[in-house]
Amino acid sequence: MESKDTTKEENLRILLKNFVESRDDIIVAFLYSNQGLLMTKYGKLDSTAKDEKETEDVYGAFTALVENLLNKISLEYEIGHYGTGSFETEDNRIIYLEAGSDAILLLICDYETNLNKLFPIAYLVVEKIAQLLEDSFDFKFNTLEIPDLNIQETFSLGLDKFSINEPKTIINGVTTAHQFRKPKKIKKLFKLIVLGSAAVGKTTLVNQFLKKEEVIDYRPTLGISISTQQFHVQGFKDDIIKFLVYDLAGQSFFKRVRHEYYQGANCAFIVYDVTKRETFDEAIDFWLEDAQKKLGNVPFVLIGNKIDLEDQREITKEEGLEKAKKLKSFFIETSALKNINVQDTFKIIGIGLFFKYIEEST
């Protein structure tokens, strides 16, 4: 079990295990130091393996492959700065990402893996890895769990802009596919609006993202609260990303002026209380549809909050997910009070917006 008292090596393995097991498309994950030493790995048993020896042979082959590839990457890119990208073999995709200044994560994935859905989560994972290695991982606001964020089907990072125009063979049977490039130093402000009925926990959600003290009671926000939070994506430490977070009151009197605060939003979180059916209905029938009409093609995240009150639940996770898919929205459940999935949800959306901005700027 994850803990600040668990050794760094154990926490790294727990994190990789959680990552691999949270996805169907990752076969094995390797974490190497920037000196080329294997720090830890975790993989699924290959479905075609008939016995332990065959399984060892499969993983042995993957290990030899990634170590040869790692040696080649270290020659192609500045030592200690590998960046991010992907390679292709006949059967697999290989993803590599910097994990701070000291490590690189390599993922062996199914060939059909959806990179638009994988990359935002993978970047979140390498941030957690970097924090563990730097001893800056804060267990009060962070977790080794992988958030079960359902990414909207048509969401795209614009990967065509990062494709290698003339793929070349790096080692036998492995060719380049993507290399993430970016303009010189970025300083980007993203506006995020948080919407929903009164007392669904919007303010507590924002406070947890800002790493403020826990809010035990759900006092209504009177009007609007505007906050900022700054962070960066692993591998892009020179680039400042800032969230401007608008926490809009859910009271009926505030609905009349809501559109004034929608303008310029890059993303919207629509929050409901899983223990109150009326907040879910209003999230779907009013807040989400209204914001989509005004904001058009920006990411929307439907958030079912207060899952810590499981015994009072009125809306199932499956019902929320079904509605989100119908309305072409991302979906996740959280507990703002217990800080479950809060930080990670904000960061994954920020990662997606960051790469969309790069894609649109190149």
| DSSP codes of every residue in 42-95 | EEPPPTT--SHHHHHHHHHHHHHHHHHHHHHHHHHS-TT---EEEEE-SSEEEE
Rounded average pLDDT over 86-109: 91
Residues 238 and 139 in one domain: no
Does the pLDDT at position 58 exceed 90?
A: no
- Residue 244: predicted pLDDT: 85
Q: Is residue 2 part of a domain?
A: no
Q: What kind and span of H or E run contains 291?
A: helix 289-295
Residues 54 and 155 in one domain: yes
- Residue 352: predicted pLDDT: 87
For residue 266, give the nearest of 356, 158, 162, 156 by alpha carbon.
356
Residues 20 and 57 in one domain: yes
Residues 104 and 174 in one domain: yes
Higher pLDDT, 53 or 104: 104
Higher pLDDT, 191 or 227: 191
Residues 135 and 203 in one domain: no
Q: Is residue 1 part of a domain?
A: no
pLDDT tens per residue across span 183-205: 556 667 889 999 999 889 998 88
- Number of folded domains that form the chain: 2
Does the pLDDT at position 113 exceed 50?
A: yes
Does the pLDDT at position 80 exceed 60?
A: no
Exposure class string for 45-60: b at 16+ Cβ within 10 A, else e:
eeeeeeeeeebeebbe
Residue type, 54: E
Q: What is the mean pLDDT of the chain?
A: 84
Does the pLDDT at position 297 exceed 90?
A: no
- Residue 185: predicted pLDDT: 60
Q: Output the domain CATH number for residue 165.
A: 3.30.450.30
- Residue 213: predicted pLDDT: 46
Rounded average pLDDT over 279-303: 92
Residues 165 and 239 in one domain: no
Residues 154 and 86 in one domain: yes
Q: Is residue 85 part of a domain?
A: yes
pLDDT band at 46 (very low <50, low <70, confident <90, very high): very low
Tell me the C-alpha distance between 65 and 298, whole Å.
39
Higher pLDDT, 127 or 210: 127
For residue 127, give the nearest of 100, 154, 96 by alpha carbon.
100
Residues 170 and 191 in one domain: no
Tell me the C-alpha distance between 273 and 334, whole Å.
10
Rounded average pLDDT over 227-246: 76
Does the pLDDT at position 228 exceed 70?
A: yes
Does the pLDDT at position 225 exceed 70?
A: yes
Structure tokens at 362: 């190149």
pLDDT tens per residue across span 214-224: 444 434 444 56
Q: Which domain, by its residues, includes 304?
A: 187-361
Residue percentage of the chain with pLDDT more than 90: 44
- Residue 102: predicted pLDDT: 85
- Residue 4: predicted pLDDT: 53
Gyration radius (Cα) of the chain, Å: 21
- Residue 321: predicted pLDDT: 96
